[in-house]
């Protein structure tokens, strides 16, 4: 392990479902690493095992099999959480505390000195746009403000690993952008960020690399670019386009869709595409545009999830 | 130490915000005020000429009753009342500590810190004890000072009652923690702790109860339960005996057994609570 701050190896988690009933597999041997300074997204439909993964990394739940390390330490060791910040989904920072009190308590629990906490609180509340709310009780905060305070609490002890479960939930678009900027800044400073979200656009805009979980397994992993280039689709603008041309393409094994006057071709590879172009030219057709069609992360996600549609989910 | 301070701050702020702290000390203050206004002593030239309790004349039986003896009587009687009052108030004020900690969305925030579960639970336990202990000190200390102010009699044995009461509270809080860890319910923690206090009080008559049942196994269960669970009746009697120094009527046997078996119960409850908290998946 060189610069991996989170390392998950063959992680498996089974939940008991009652006496005499078979256990439910939430995680079925997943592997991934998150490196220093990397923004890593964990995607998956409800029940895919995202939250279970994060909870194992934090030691909130024990793995049935496999190992996970944070900063080189096994996750069972409380010291592995010394430099880990966590923002749980639907967290409940006690409403009776003010922002200052909440950050002081969580800072102390992370081993910070009173002086260090005093310096850190205004700095962080400035970053999450809550400086004027420092002495207001959390119960008066809106959902978005609570979320931003949660992020400040997760960052209070200067972690080098950040685990965030739906961090932009309830946050307005401006706030979302600010959180993204903040996460990027943390990553630039060397923090490994693991982002768990079902907001695909957020992941696409924020993360360097993602893993898609499906039924407790990693169904796909890579950079956003790698994942969205997986399908070989091309937009073709040509003339003349008639039924005989479409039929010829189909006879050659290509998928053809007519979209707004142009064609979208699904091909096996570049050679296959060139065959189709040759066929067009041999019929006297003129090619005016040929460009790869990039899938969105949502397309990739939906395709992966659809592949297993109908299977039961797992508890989070 | 920082973890302990963090938990103490959290527990006290919660008690203040949820009105528990105010209610806790308000009820105690009412009791103190009633007590202060209930005693009326007529002292002439340093000697007790007459005394009224709740407006009623206290029988002096000629010159037999000295002021020291009267104070001893007041304090012994009130220590028994305080035993019940402090214990129940403490249960109500602290039983929520674990269930509230274990709420979804809250426990993650605490357990994601570099603190072992044992340390977290023990810190919370000591924070709860500090809250309960401060109330015991406030109640007993105030009454002791009032008596001193009204009679000029200094009777430090009265404060011994606080030590025994605190010991019983520590035991019941450990039990409330165990119930809280297992059930995550404040209501069940309160019911179980109050039930334990009252049930163990009933078991003081364990020999008579065992003799009255029709099967031997039932008698064995009663005797076993008696030895396992805290001895709240014996400890209540010990409070009275400590304060009165056994100056009244029948002598109370101050054997160490009720203290030892109660301490064992408390330790076992706390150990089980920690073990279960460690095993629990959130």
Q: Interface pTM (ipTM) of the complex?
A: 0.78
Q: How far is A300 from chain B (nearest CA, A)?
A: 31
| Alpha-carbon dihedral angle through residues A129, A134, A139, A142, given to the nearest 10 degrees | -10
pTM for the structure as a whole:
0.81
Q: How far is B94 from chain A (nearest CA, A)?
A: 16
DSSP B102: T
Q: What is the predicted pLDDT for the residue at A1?
A: 43
Q: Do B114 and A81 touch (CB under 8 A)?
A: yes
Answer yes or no: are the C-beta atoms of A136 and A99 closer than 8 Å. yes
| Interface membership of B277 toward A (CB under 8 Å) | no
> What residues contact B4, with CB distance under 8 A and at least 6 apart?
B123, B126, B127
Residue A136 has pLDDT above 50, yes or no: yes
What are φ and ψ of residue B22, in 5° steps?
Answer: -65, -45
Query: Mean per-residue pLDDT for A267-276?
Result: 88
Closest B-chain CA to A15: B281
- Confidence tier at A17 by pLDDT (50, 70, 90): confident
Q: What is the predicted pLDDT for the residue at A312?
A: 45
More confident residue, A55 or B68: A55
The shortest CB-CB distance from A78 to any of B6, B17, B114 is to: B114
> What residues contact A45, with CB distance under 8 A and at least 6 apart?
A198, A214, A305, A313
Spatial separation of the C-alpha atoms in residues B238 and B248, rounded to whole Å: 13
Hunting for tokens 């142009």 — which residue is that? A262
Q: Do A96 and B18 touch (CB under 8 A)?
A: yes
Q: What is the predicted pLDDT for the residue at B253?
A: 67
Cα distances (Å, whole numbers) of residue B89 to B86, B169, B236, B243: 5, 10, 16, 21
Hunting for tokens 């709420």 — which residue is that? B103
DSSP B114: S
The shortest CB-CB distance from B108 to any of A78, A91, A113 is to: A91
Q: What is the predicted pLDDT for the residue at B53?
A: 67
The DSSP element (H or E) to which B272 belongs, if any, is helix B257-279
The shortest CB-CB distance from A88 to any of B2, B109, B114 is to: B109
Q: Do A60 and B13 touch (CB under 8 A)?
A: no
Q: Which residues does chain B have within 8 Å of residue A82's beta carbon, measured at their own beta carbons? A: 114
Q: What is the predicted pLDDT for the residue at B250?
A: 59
Q: What is the predicted pLDDT for the residue at B46?
A: 63
Q: What is the predicted pLDDT for the residue at A193?
A: 95
| Interface membership of B57 toward A (CB under 8 Å) | no
B40 strand-pairing partners:
B52
Q: How far is B109 from chain A (nearest CA, A)?
A: 7
Answer yes or no: are the C-beta atoms of A183 and A41 closer than 8 Å. no
More confident residue, A247 or A3: A247
Residue A229 has pLDDT above 80, yes or no: no
Q: Could you say which residues from 3 to 22 on chain B have a Cβ atom under 8 Å away from some Cβ of chain A?
A: 3, 5-6, 9-10, 13-14, 16-18
Residue A56 has pLDDT above 90, yes or no: yes
Mutate to test the interface with B, among A24, A105, A140, A160 (most CBs of B within 10 A): A105
Residue A316 has pLDDT above 80, yes or no: no
Low-confidence ranges of chain B (pLDDT < 70): 43-49, 53-56, 58-66, 246-253
The shortest CB-CB distance from A92 to any of B13, B105, B116 is to: B105
Full set of structural domains in chain A with CATH: 4-227 (3.40.50.300), 232-292 (3.30.70.260)
Closest B-chain CA to A79: B114
What are φ and ψ of residue B222, in 5° steps?
Answer: -60, -45
CA gyration radius for chain B?
A: 22
Residue A224 has pLDDT above 60, yes or no: yes
Q: What is the predicted pLDDT for the residue at A67?
A: 92
Q: How far is A94 from chain B (nearest CA, A)?
A: 8
Q: Say what percent of chain A tops pLDDT 90.
A: 48
- Confidence tier at A266 by pLDDT (50, 70, 90): confident
Q: What is the predicted pLDDT for the residue at B251?
A: 66
Residue A131 has pLDDT above 60, yes or no: yes
Residue A11 has pLDDT above 90, yes or no: yes
Q: What is the predicted pLDDT for the residue at B120?
A: 95
């Amino acid at each position: 392990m060189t610069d991996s701050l989170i390392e998950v190896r063959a992680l498996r988690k089974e939940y008991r479902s009652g006496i005499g009933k078979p256990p439910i597999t939430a995680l079925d041997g997943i592997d991934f690493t998150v490196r220093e300074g990397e923004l890593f997204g964990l995607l998956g439909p409800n029940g895919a095992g995202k939250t279970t993964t994060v909870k194992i990394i934090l030691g909130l739940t024990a793995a049935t099999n496999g190992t996970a390390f944070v900063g080189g330490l096994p996750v069972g060791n409380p010291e592995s959480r010394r430099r880990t910040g966590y923002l749980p989904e639907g967290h409940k920072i006690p409403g009776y505390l003010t922002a200052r009190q909440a950050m002081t308590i969580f800072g102390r629990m992370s081993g910070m000195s009173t002086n260090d906490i005093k310096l850190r609180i205004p700095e962080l509340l400035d970053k999450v746009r809550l400086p004027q709310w420092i002495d207001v009780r959390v119960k008066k905060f809106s959902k978005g403000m609570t979320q931003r305070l949660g992020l400040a609490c997760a960052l209070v002890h200067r972690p080098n690993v950040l685990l965030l479960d739906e961090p932009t939930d309830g946050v307005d678009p401006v706030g979302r952008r600010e959180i993204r900027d903040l996460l990027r800044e943390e990553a630039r400073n060397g923090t490994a960020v693991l982002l768990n979200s079902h907001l695909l656009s957020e992941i696409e805009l924020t993360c360097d690399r993602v893993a898609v979980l499906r039924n407790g397994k990693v169904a796909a992993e890579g950079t956003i670019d790698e994942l969205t280039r997986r399908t070989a689709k091309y937009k073709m603008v040509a003339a003349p386009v008639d039924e005989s041309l479409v039929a010829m393409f189909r006879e050659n094994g290509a998928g053809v869709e007519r979209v707004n006057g142009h064609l979208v071709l699904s091909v096996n590879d570049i050679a296959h595409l060139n065959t189709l172009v040759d066929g067009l030219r041999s019929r006297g057709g003129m090619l005016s545009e040929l460009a790869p069609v990039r899938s969105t992360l949502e397309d990739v996600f939906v395709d992966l999830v659809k592949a297993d549609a109908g299977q039961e989910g797992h508890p989070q | 130490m920082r973890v302990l301070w963090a938990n103490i701050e959290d527990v006290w702020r919660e008690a203040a915000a949820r009105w528990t702290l105010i209610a806790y000390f308000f009820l105690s203050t009412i009791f103190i005020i009633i007590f202060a206004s209930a005693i009326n002593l007529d002292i002439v030239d340093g000697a007790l000429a007459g005394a009224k309790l709740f407006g009623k004349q206290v029988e002096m039986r000629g010159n037999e009753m000295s002021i020291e003896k009267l104070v001893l009587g007041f304090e012994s009687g009130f220590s028994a009342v305080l035993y019940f009052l402090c214990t129940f108030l403490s249960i109500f004020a602290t039983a929520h500590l674990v269930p509230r900690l274990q709420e979804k969305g809250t426990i993650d925030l605490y357990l994601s810190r570099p603190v072992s579960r044992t340390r977290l639970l023990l810190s919370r336990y000591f924070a709860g004890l500090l809250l309960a202990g401060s109330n015991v000190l406030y109640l007993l200390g105030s009454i002791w000072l009032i008596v001193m102010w009204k009679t000029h009699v200094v009777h430090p044995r009265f404060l011994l009652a606080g030590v025994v009461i605190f010991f019983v509270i520590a035991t019941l809080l450990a039990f409330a923690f165990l119930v809280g860890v297992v059930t995550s319910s404040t209501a069940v923690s309160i019911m179980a702790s109050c039930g334990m206090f009252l049930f163990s009080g009933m078991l003081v008559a364990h020999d008579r109860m065992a003799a009255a049942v029709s099967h031997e196994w039932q008698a064995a269960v009663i005797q076993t339960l008696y030895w396992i669970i805290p001895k709240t009746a014996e400890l209540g009697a010990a409070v009275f005996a400590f304060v009165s120094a056994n100056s009244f009527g029948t002598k109370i046997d101050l054997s160490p057994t009720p203290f030892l078996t109660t301490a064992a119960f408390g330790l076992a409850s706390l150990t089980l609570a920690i073990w279960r908290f460690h095993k629990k998946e959130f």
